[in-house]
Amino acid sequence: MRVLGLGDNIVDRFIDRRTSYPGGNSVNFSVFARRLGAESAYVGVFGADRFGGLLKAALLAESVDISHAVTRDGPSGWTNIRLEEGERRFLDWNGGGITLSEPFRPSPEDLDYIGRFDVVHSSVYSGIEEHLPAVRTAVPRVSFDFSADDDRRSDAYLAAVCPSVDLGQFSCADLSDRESRELLLTAVRHGAGAALATRGTDGALFLDGGVFHEGGAEFVPPSSIVDTMGCGDAYLTAFLLDLVRAGWSRDRRVDAGAVAAAMRTAALYSARQCTVEGAFGRGWPFSEADPDGARAALADSGAPLPRYH
């Protein structure tokens, strides 16, 4: 299976740990998919700064192909985070940096490349919405993360994006069971082929072909939880890959047994993610003398960082 993460990348700076980690929904998807055995690539815009170089180095270390990614003059995106009882509290961010101020715009050549993949995944933080129809025409399956942002749950946004999405994922830990079901029904009514709600310890809901499937969460002992960064991304990736391996596509549904098996696989993988620092590790410490943490990371790498154009 060949999969592509398309769009956002960011550096997650954990203030309490004084450690920065590579991340971003599309980046996390690419890394998790590679770890789960898929051939994986990432396409997006990197900043021409030390954070951008370290993001590239992390992806290359995970054997994710970034040969078609773009580097532009400007800052990488970053967000400051503090852990409170294992849960993330987002403090501030720089608006996504160059990744969102000058997002990736696929050319005909890019679309030809994108068309070589079985699955393309993107998100609300990628600035790719206007190009989703062309992307969907090029590939068999488009997955899209709508996050937990109320603005991305509005009828206007769903009506604009859902027709170009085969699987829409929503973070619904803040919603009741009834509200989560209504949101998934609304997404499908606006044109999404199927919809997934991840709800933390309440498990997940999947709506496909007018049928709701429900999967429980895997228990993780509190003493084993490091943080919850990337848990929803881990669930989506494992679930989607299992579905595709079972034969799921925009034109073909799979039976309830295959869905249940995929939800079980995803719950286990998401639970394991709770024991990992950051989205997928590979953090670098920072200090007042080295606020990016890049100096130490570059010294550890032993090689110059690659640059793509």
Spatial distance between the Cα atoms of 6 and 136, rounded to a whole number of angstroms: 12
**pLDDT at 86 (0 to 100):** 64
**pLDDT at 307 (0 to 100):** 30
Ranges of the chain with pLDDT below 50: 294-309
**pLDDT at 288 (0 to 100):** 64
**pLDDT at 89 (0 to 100):** 82
Start-end of H helices in the chain: 25-35, 50-61, 98-101, 108-114, 132-138, 155-161, 177-189, 231-245, 256-273, 294-301
Global model pTM greater than 0.75: yes
> Which burial class, exposed, middle or buried, applies to 297 when counting CB atoms under 10 A from its CB (0-12, 13-18, 19+)?
buried
Terminal Cα-to-Cα distance of the chain (whole angstroms): 26
Spatial distance between the Cα atoms of 38 and 161, rounded to a whole number of angstroms: 26
User: Which domains occur in the chain, in start order?
Assistant: 1-121+284-309 (3.40.1190.20), 141-278 (3.40.1190.20)
**pLDDT at 304 (0 to 100):** 35
Q: What is the pairing mode between strands 78-84 and 194-198?
A: unpaired
Cα dihedral sign for 108, 109, 114, 116? Answer: positive
Spatial distance between the Cα atoms of 255 and 251, rounded to a whole number of angstroms: 14
**pLDDT at 88 (0 to 100):** 75
**pLDDT at 51 (0 to 100):** 93
